[in-house]
Amino acid sequence: MLIGFAALAQSPAKKTEYIFKGQLVDADSGMAVPHAHITNPYKGLLTVSQAGGAFTMPVEAGDTLIISNIGYVTLKYPVPATASEGVVTIELQPKTEQMEEVVITKFPSEARFKEQILGLNLPDEGVALDLPAPVIERRTDEGDPGGVTVFSHTGAISGFANKFNNKERGRQFKARMAVQEQNEAYIATKFNKEVVQNITGLEDEEKLNEFMKFCVMPDDFLMKASEYEIHEAVLGCFKDFIASK
């Protein structure tokens, strides 16, 4: 019996699960921080703070909440061992970053865009026509002993047209590439590893790279989406990513 009591006394206590109630505020201004994302990676749970900064999350002693929002330093918050009376206020530190300068040009109209594309300073490589010599056929019509001379130059005209078509296709290709590079640079400012890390709290480089491959978003969506829409989309991907594990 003594051995049994000793074993019972040494057995670890079962963790108590409870609902953690918190409110997020700006550390400088004291204002509520809405739409922040709170993750409990130990349970695979996600939630978003409300308009007043309040949120709730099922937790256990030993859990750590990861709290992130655009413009704030990502916070790792260890939850108390037991439920607190009332709401716990959590301060988020504003984040100041020096971004590289990116120049985004908006064309006022489609006509202006075409004008800029056509005005690109492309090297003039010249066009070697290499027109074939015209084929001279001679036929004699009835009643005309001298005959009529006919120049057949269909092949020459086709070759001439193809030379100019190739050059125009080259100009169009270069123009498309320039626009594509500009779009890719713009997308990279909205969706990159740093943005994803701030939203998900992933710090392990290998897991971050794995998630970036998992969370593939269409370029059309990234071009038009707001920061909040991208934030929500990344969170949705992260929830699916956790579930896949």
Give residue-wise pLDDT tens across range 19-76: 999 999 999 999 999 999 999 998 889 999 999 999 999 999 889 999 999 889 999 9
Residue 128's pLDDT is 54
Contact of 216 with 236, CB cutoff 8 Å: no
* Domain-wise residue ranges, the chain: 18-92, 110-188, 191-244
Contact of 75 with 67, CB cutoff 8 Å: yes
Task: Give strand ranges (E) for the chain.
Answer: 17-26, 37-40, 45-48, 54-60, 64-68, 75-78, 88-92, 135-139, 148-152
First vs last C-alpha separation in the chain = 44
Residue 23's pLDDT is 95
Q: What is the mean pLDDT of the chain?
A: 78
Name the 3-class secondary structure at 138.
Answer: strand
**139 band by pLDDT with thresholds 50, 70 and 90:** low
Give residue-wise pLDDT tens across range 193-203: 888 988 988 88
For the segment(s) 18-92, the CATH number from 2.40.40.20, 2.40.160.50, 3.90.226.10, 2.60.40.1120 is 2.60.40.1120
| Residue 238, φ and ψ in degrees, nearest 5 | -65, -40
Distance CA 233, CA 212 (A): 13
Q: Which residue has the higher pLDDT, 244 or 109?
A: 244
Mean of the pLDDT values across residues 169-191?
Answer: 82
Mean pLDDT lowest for which of 51-60, 96-105, 132-141, 170-179? Answer: 132-141
Contact of 31 with 25, CB cutoff 8 Å: yes
Given a cut of 80, is residue 119 above it in pLDDT?
Answer: no
Residue 48's pLDDT is 93
Give the residue ranges of DSSP H helices in 122-226.
154-190, 193-200, 205-214, 219-224
Residue 44's pLDDT is 86
Q: Which amino acid is at 47?
A: T
Of 152, 159, 158, whose CA–CA distance to 137 is shortest?
A: 152
Contact of 150 with 138, CB cutoff 8 Å: yes
Mean of the pLDDT values across residues 238-242?
Answer: 89
Distance CA 67, CA 92 (A): 9
What does pTM read for this prediction?
Answer: 0.40
Given a cut of 90, is residue 77 above it in pLDDT?
Answer: yes
Mean pLDDT lowest for which of 18-22, 92-96, 118-122? Answer: 118-122
Residue 151's pLDDT is 47
Name the 3-class secondary structure at 46.
Answer: strand
**177 band by pLDDT with thresholds 50, 70 and 90:** confident
